Amino acid sequence: MNKISVSSLKKGDRFSKPVYLDADTVFISSNSPISDADLERLSKFGITEVFSDGSKIDRSDAPAFSPKSQEDKLPFLDQSEDGLRLKVIYDKITHNRYEFDSLYSSTLETVQKAYKSIADGKNVEVREFREVGEKIVDFVKANPQVAVYLNSQTQTGYYLFNQVVSATFFSILLGSHLDYSRPKLIDLSFAGLFADIGMSLISSQISEKTTVLDENDRKIIMKHTLTGYQVLTQKVKLKNALAVVCLQHHENFDGTGYPQRMAGNSIEEFSRIYTIADNFSALSAKRPYRTAFLPHDAIKMMIGEMVTKFDLKMVRLFLNILSMYPLGSYVELSDGRIAMVVDVNKDKPIRPSVRIIKESNGEKVRTLQFCNLGLDLQVYITSAVDSKKATS
């Protein structure tokens, strides 16, 4: 990678590829502008050089970002240390929303095209998968609050493709907290995007059935892991260490899964990670036969009645990353206000930091307000609410 002198960087500079602090630590993702806070961070830690394989983008060629909404322009009056900290987090979330939407959309398109090619008996362009996998890894490493986007977006299109993409993002988030190296995260991303390729070979009359599946339907569905594994190893020529996620992502830690009823650490680590991400994505998304669960209800099910299905160490880590009221989800507070979760308090999973959206009388707030429930112990969450109640 090329060295870049920090003294040459200016607010608003963008690069065609991610900028790194070292071999594994992303400083700024591709096409993301450098902010004053970013420059301050470099100065504070005495960093004089950063690294990138990309080049600086001419400002006239920089992508057009969506205009700010009225909510993004709300005045901010809280000058407390914690308020300012949450304002920095929230500003980064809103600023990088466009980049996430663009990446999610392009990933969805890549997955859809590849799965359709397999269904039509054609070859898959593996290079495209690796490229998009690299972009996902770099974005997640640069945006630890990525779950805000995943849990607050309105998904469109076929549920399966959305589930694959969402689960891959969550897998990389979990892998990042396991301190995986960038190459290892790229492999995990690559494996995740291919994980449900076998579903492309199942008739839509079964995969999109709106009524309860009968025993024969279930047997056909359960074959998709083995069928997909065979496609990946024999036709796509994917190495076994990655294709095995497709084979094992419905194996359960307690041995109750399929196709081989494997248990415990005999299930590959990549597969154990993806299983957690896949289950959360599936539960919190609408399916042909049921409505979506709220993210809070999905995480509650996973650490409750479903907990034996997962590697306990990893599902606990997943809870620590998202909190009981996952980032991006909406909640009602004890004083009647409605808020969105924007940051996690790791030692207090039921007391995250939130951005207030509505006053207790139902009116939208006129200023940008945050509440750290880890510090303000007079207020607590009474319930999770859906996006319609929160934003209408």
Q: What is the pLDDT of residue 170?
A: 98
Average pLDDT value for residue range 225-235: 96
Confidence bin at 208 (pLDDT 50/70/90): confident
Answer whether residue 157 shows pLDDT above 80. no
Average pLDDT value for residue range 100-113: 93
Reported as a single tens digit per residue, the pLDDT across 30-77 is 667 787 767 877 887 789 999 888 888 875 444 434 444 555 578 998
100 vs 203, which has greater pLDDT? 100
Answer whether residue 141 shows pLDDT above 90. yes
Compute the distance between CA of residue 160 and CA of residue 164 in angstroms, rounded to an integer: 6
208 vs 117, which has greater pLDDT? 117
Average pLDDT value for residue range 161-166: 95
> Hey, which of 193-207, 233-247, 283-297 has the most confident mean pLDDT?
233-247
Q: Mean pLDDT, the chain, as a whole number? A: 90
Instruction: For residue 72, give Cα distances in angstroms to 83, 340, 341, 365, 384.
Output: 16, 14, 16, 12, 23
Reported as a single tens digit per residue, the pLDDT across 304-315 is 999 999 999 999
Amino acid at 328: G
- Cβ atoms within 10 Å of 157's Cβ, excluding its own: 11
Which of 7-11, 244-248, 364-368 shows the lowest mean pLDDT across its residues?
7-11
Q: What is the pLDDT of residue 67?
A: 40
Burial label for 10, CB within 10 Å (0-12, 13-18, 19+), is exposed
Q: What is the Cβ-side half-sphere exposure of residue 231, based on CA atoms within 13 angstroms?
A: 28
Q: What is the pLDDT of residue 306?
A: 96
Using an 8 Å Cβ cutoff, are 196 and 164 in contact? yes
Amino acid at 329: S
Largest distance between two CA atoms of the chain: 66
User: What is the pTM for the complete model shown?
Assistant: 0.83
